[in-house]
């Protein structure tokens, strides 16, 4: 029971009790994709994330060290530590891999030592060779058991990727998202970060079939700010427990102001038009 107490306390720092929602930022791109707009100088971006008032921030073990003093600030977000690395997002366009590869780079004990309030791992489904998918499940089950022993929430990030005919190009397919989010919940996820389907009606069905909180992932920066706000509003209207957005925050004109705008929608229940009018985003 005491380990569950630890999970509850830590998860409440990320998904706030007052609204049942979270505005968290994914800032782990350097680990898989290297330097890019928004992460060239990690400490500068982290200062913006803190200024905006994010509830949680997803970072790599290295970034937890680089930003250690910033993460001790009064208003610093909770740390969600990424425990795995992947080349899935670079393949196949950059390196011509047939399929992505994924591997653990840290563990739950190390995450606690770095100050994490939660750990997070990918759970890819849909690779051509089913043993890769099986390894993904085994990886998540292993981390899940360690997290349960040590009282730290395990957020799983299930995603339909790979070249297999049954998943290729179907990342936002409501049936696949319903499948992998439910699988993650049944393995033991405390919360889930995953793709949005693109509309509130189909997402409400995903959420209805998933017994643990879902935070949406953002994906590439949208062509307009309104598009990303519409995505967030749709997910919240569908019953999502919040957001764990990356590029649409860290590549925004002003990431701090973007976080404040997102908080108005997610925690404040504001409409997109109101936010566009009242925030300089
Ligand atoms: O899942 C990977 C990263 O957390 C990316 O986040 P993003 O797609 O919202 O930029």
Predicted pLDDT of residue 82 = 98
Name which residue sits closest to atom 7 of ligand 1, judged by CA. 246
Tokens found for residue 142:
């292993």
Each residue's pLDDT tens digit, 53-105 = 999 999 999 999 999 999 999 999 999 999 999 998 876 666 667 778 899 99
**What are the structural domains, with CATH classification, of the chain?**
3-278 (3.20.20.70)
> 249 CA to middle of ligand 1, Å?
10
Rounded-to-integer distance, Cα 205 and Cα 157, Å:
18
> 209 CA to middle of ligand 1, Å?
23
pLDDT confidence bin for 131, thresholds 50/70/90 = confident
Contact 26 CB / ligand 1 (< 6 Å): yes
> 247 CA to middle of ligand 1, Å?
7
SS (H, E, C) 39-55: CCCHHHHHHHHHHHCCC
Each residue's pLDDT tens digit, 41-57 = 999 999 999 999 999 99
Question: Which of 59, 193, 218 has most ligand 1 atoms within 8 Å of its beta carbon, as the pocket-test mutant?
Answer: 218
Catalytic hit among 193, 221, 253, 277: 193
Each residue's pLDDT tens digit, 188-232 = 999 999 999 999 999 999 999 999 999 999 999 999 999 999 999
What average pLDDT does range 126-134 have in this prediction? 87
pLDDT confidence bin for 2, thresholds 50/70/90 = confident
> 109 CA to middle of ligand 1, Å?
24
Please indicate whether residue 165 is annotated as part of the active site: no
Name which residue sits closest to atom 6 of ligand 1, judged by CA. 246
Predicted pLDDT of residue 92 = 63
Contact 161 CB / ligand 1 (< 6 Å): no
Contact 218 CB / ligand 1 (< 6 Å): yes
Between these two residues, 126 and 97, which has the higher pLDDT value? 126
Predicted pLDDT of residue 94 = 65
SS (H, E, C) 212-241: CCEEECCCCCCCCHHHHHHHHHHHHHHCCC
> 219 CA to middle of ligand 1, Å?
6
Question: Which of 33, 34, 58 has most ligand 1 atoms within 8 Å of its beta carbon, as the pocket-test mutant?
Answer: 58
If one counts every other C-beta atom within 10 angstroms of the C-beta of residue 18, the result is 7
Q: Cα torsion for 58, 60, 64, 70, to the nearest 10°?
A: -50
pTM of this prediction? Answer: 0.97
């Amino acid at each position: 029971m005491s380990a569950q107490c630890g999970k509850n306390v830590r998860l409440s720092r990320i998904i706030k009790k007052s609204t049942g929602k979270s505005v968290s930022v994914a800032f782990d791109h350097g680990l898989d994709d290297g330097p890019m707009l928004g992460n060239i100088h990690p400490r500068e971006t982290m200062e913006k994330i803190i200024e905006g008032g994010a509830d949680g921030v997803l970072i790599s073990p290295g970034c937890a060290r680089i930003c250690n003093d910033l993460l001790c600030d009064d208003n610093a977000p909770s740390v969600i530590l990424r425990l795995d690395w992947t080349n899935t997002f670079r393949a196949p366009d950059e390196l011509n891999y047939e399929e992505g590869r994924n591997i653990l780079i840290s563990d739950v004990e190390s995450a606690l030592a770095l100050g994490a309030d939660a750990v997070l791992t990918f759970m890819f489904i849909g690779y051509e060779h089913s043993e890769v998918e099986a390894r993904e499940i085994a990886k998540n089950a292993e981390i899940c058991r360690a997290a349960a022993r040590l009282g730290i929430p395990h957020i799983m990030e299930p995603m339909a990727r790979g070249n297999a005919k049954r998943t290729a190009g179907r990342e936002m397919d409501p049936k696949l998202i319903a499948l992998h989010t439910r699988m993650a919940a049944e393995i033991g996820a405390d919360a889930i970060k995953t793709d949005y389907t693109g509309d509130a009606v189909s997402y409400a069905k995903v959420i209805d079939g998933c017994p643990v909180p879902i935070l949406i992932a953002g994906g590439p920066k949208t062509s307009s700010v309104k598009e990303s706000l519409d995505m967030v509003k749709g997910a919240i209207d569908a019953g999502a427990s919040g957001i764990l957005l990356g590029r649409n925050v860290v590549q925004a004109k002003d990431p701090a102001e973007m976080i404040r705008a997102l908080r108005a929608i997610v925690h404040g229940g504001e409409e997109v038009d109101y936010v566009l009018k009242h925030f300089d985003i």
